[in-house]
Amino acid sequence: MRANEPAHLIPYTIAVAHQKGGVGKTTTALTVGACLAEQHVHTLLIDLDPSLNLTNGVGLSSKFVNETLAEVLLAEAPLGSAIRSTTFENLDILPSGPGMLSLSHQLHARPTYEMLLDRLIAQPRMSMYEVILIDCPPMLDALTVLALSATDLVIIPTQCEYYALQALESMFRMIRMIRAKNNPKLRYRLLVTMFDRRGKFHARVLQLLREQYSNALLKATIGFDTRVRESQMAGVPLTVFAPKCRAAEHYRSLSRELQFYIQKKRMEPASAGG
Ligand SMILES: Nc1ncnc2c1ncn2[C@@H]1O[C@H](COP(=O)(O)OP(=O)(O)OP(=O)(O)O)[C@@H](O)[C@H]1O
Ligand SMILES: [Mg+2]
């Protein structure tokens, strides 16, 4: 529970983070957002990555983005004018844009920057959203600290590759640091992405993950599906582009699993993570 919890509802906040690039962070943030929206959950996407992939993923071009989280946090723009609706029902976005390139650097100059996003999410304007999904850049920098300090749950997408498992250690270190310093309620879950169900090696690594991280592993596993790339090229979430494809169904299962966490927090507002 946040200190001085206000009377209005605070959205359940999920960050998708990993310092490793190309593991499916943006795909997960976007597709889970689209699945929740499809399940009538009013959802806000926040694009923390200066590479704009999530912003482009909902079909928004940087040419049309003037205000981002950077302008809002540096008090140059009101939150309301930076949030954009998308063409998809129940799905809004706080987009990325040129301003995000220097945000990490500018935050370091502010001694208490780490809780800025947490405070923003606690604003009454945000209570219109049930869920916020944050797409993080592929590094453990100030932007990821900002996200994890404001988050109920961090999803760590991982592929079933040996090196991917080694890379988890730095994520866990960062989570321990954030829990100790800013956000004791932070919980994490691992998500297997781009799983090749025909490959024996992937099955072996998945078994290892189950043995090593049993409770921290999400039950849903996202299979490799070429429709994901195609949907990104089209600037449309996968569940809209190819509603019946395998990965879309996997992301729907994941979203139903996440609804359990979301509802649990609603029913026990004073409970901390675990
Ligand atoms: N389930 C999937 N099946 C097939 N391809 C996928 C799947 N998920 C993601 N991809 C592809 O893998 C690439 C990386 O995905 P994505 O951009 O989501 O990763 P990321 O972790 O956000 O990357 P970055 O660290 O660069 O931000 C993209 O080309 C995407 O289309
Ligand atoms: Mg990304």
Q: Residue 259's CB: how many other CB atoms inside 10 A?
A: 17
Spatial separation of the C-alpha atoms in residues 148 and 128, rounded to whole Å: 21
Q: Please state the rounded mean pLDDT for residues 52-78.
A: 88
Identify which has the larger pLDDT, 44 or 65: 44
* pLDDT of 269 over the 70 cut: no
Ligand nearest to the CA of 30: 1
Percentage of residues of the chain with pLDDT beyond 90: 69
Q: Which residues line ligand 1 (CB under 6 A)?
A: 21-27, 49, 53, 138, 193-194, 222, 224-225, 228-229, 232, 247
Closest CA to 38 of 203, 251, 197: 251
Q: Please state the rounded mean pLDDT for residues 66-87.
A: 90
- pLDDT reported for residue 265: 80
Spatial separation of the C-alpha atoms in residues 33 and 39, rounded to whole Å: 10
Distance 25 CA to ligand 2 centre (A): 5
Is the pTM value of this prediction over 0.85?
A: yes
- Average pLDDT over the chain, rounded to an integer: 91
Q: Where are the domains of the chain?
A: 12-266
| Beta-sheet pairing, 84-85 with 91-94 | antiparallel
Distance 104 CA to ligand 1 centre (A): 23
Nearest residue by C-alpha to atom 9 in ligand 1: 24
User: Tens digits of per-residue pLDDT, 179-221?
Assistant: 999 999 999 999 999 999 888 889 898 998 888 888 899 999 9
* pLDDT of 142 over the 90 cut: yes
Identify which has the larger pLDDT, 27 or 207: 27
- pLDDT reported for residue 12: 96
Q: Please state the rounded mean pLDDT for residues 217-246.
A: 96
| Assigned architecture for domain 12-266 | 3-Layer(aba) Sandwich (3.40)
**Residue 163 — very low, low, confident or very high, per pLDDT cuts 50/70/90?**
confident
Q: Please state the rounded mean pLDDT for residues 126-140.
A: 96
Distance 27 CA to ligand 1 centre (A): 6
- pLDDT reported for residue 193: 96
- pLDDT reported for residue 274: 43
